[in-house]
Amino acid sequence: MRKTTMPVASPLSATAADCSIHVDLREVIHALSDALDLVGIDDVAHGKRVGIMAYHCALTVGLSRPQANFLFDLGLLHDIGVSSTRTHQHLVSEFDWAGSQQHCLTGAALLASFTPLAAMAEPVRYHHTPWEKLAAMPGLSREIAEQANLIYLVDRVDAMAAAFYSSGELLTHTPAIREQIAQRSSQHFAPQLVEAFLQASQAEAFWLQLEPRGIAGMLQDMRELSLPCQASTAQLKQLATLFSCIVDAKSPFTARHSQGVAGLSRWLAERLGLTPGRCDQLEIAALLHDLGKLRVPDEILEKPAGLTSRERSLINAHSFETYQILRHIRGFEEIACWAAYHHEEPDGHGYPFHLSAASMCIEARILRVADIFQALAQDRPYRAGLSADAVLATLQQLAAQQRIDPTILALAAQDMDGAMAAALPAGKAA
């Protein structure tokens, strides 16, 4: 592995202008990587461990800090195409899986659509492709092949080690893991990358840094060492849209739901006279409001029958998971609350905070109405979307029960055709 085969700088190193929401783009991306890790349900640090191992392997072969930073970020986001808990289980329980390429293609397409992360698209596309195929692939640069293959290598290391993180027996099993990687040199992994991994992983510290305290320390170090990267409002909305696609792809029941909620939330906010800046913030909150659902098992989200009390408790935790992800982004303090409050009810019987009407700002009340409205109007696999009249009748019942704000509903009722168009920007197809 040569020093010249990695980018000189992370794709997050440029400074964006025209920012009305003062947020560091790297901080947002690091926080949203937490959402990707939620797909593991009980194992919520896969991307971080992959990033940490890739970073230290890069330093082992003498790459620069900026080059290693790129690999760290690439590790954080390499599974951006995974939202299904079933897919995640395949990826961590099988060394190679016939369906693994689909999430690579999905992730590459998502990253390519966002300029600050576009340099990651090709490495993500090939991060489950064996080295013997990569090396023979015409038109693929060696730098991209090595980036992709290093992520593949440490990704498979983490899959093999996953069963031992909580048992306290990881160091006992590292010789066997190292041997499996060595045996796949040339076939699955580039020989120079295998050599770098074997050298770096000789130290117990390489493995111990993958424990929760080690991960937290590494993330703090990366934040302190990184250059500021101020995001524009347009970039934040584009990034939020990208992550909304990940969430909505989790189940056919929720395809394009978040984008519809965002469209209707902005439509309502503009008619209430909120400033353009507040409308932008609310739109971002709506796009991200269901991030926490990534931790809900697929079979629960798609269950056609009634939920058990345990299953209901898992569903009810999703809005708090959203809050946990967003609350640590400086500049997102209000956005985090608005997104997390979308299941709070004016009578105090909502979840997860049981807020009263007096405790909910107008933006949170708008998002709640928009969330229910869109879900009723959208086609779902188990039913057709409701007509405007049926949506209004259902929402009027909820308002009478003090479950939504009647003043927000009244605004929608003045122009139900406009509200429906805002909630279903691409039609009612699921």
Residues acting as catalytic residues? 293
Distance in angstroms (rounded) separating the CA atoms of residues 51 and 343: 34
User: Would you say 33 and 47 are in contact if contact means Cβ atoms under 8 Å apart?
Assistant: yes
SS3 425: strand
CB atoms within 10 A of CB 320: 15
Q: Is the dihedral of CA 82, 85, 90, 91 positive or negative?
A: positive
**Residue 293 exposed, middle or buried by CB count within 10 Å (0-12, 13-18, 19+):** buried
Q: Name the phi and psi angles at 277, rounded to 5.
A: -65, -40
Distance in angstroms (rounded) separating the CA atoms of residues 291 and 133: 35
Q: Of all residues in the chain, what percent are helix, strand and coil, respectively (each to 5)?
A: 65, 0, 35
Query: Among residues 318, 307, 324, which one has the least CA distance to residue 247?
Result: 318
User: Would you say 317 and 292 are in contact if contact means Cβ atoms under 8 Å apart?
Assistant: yes
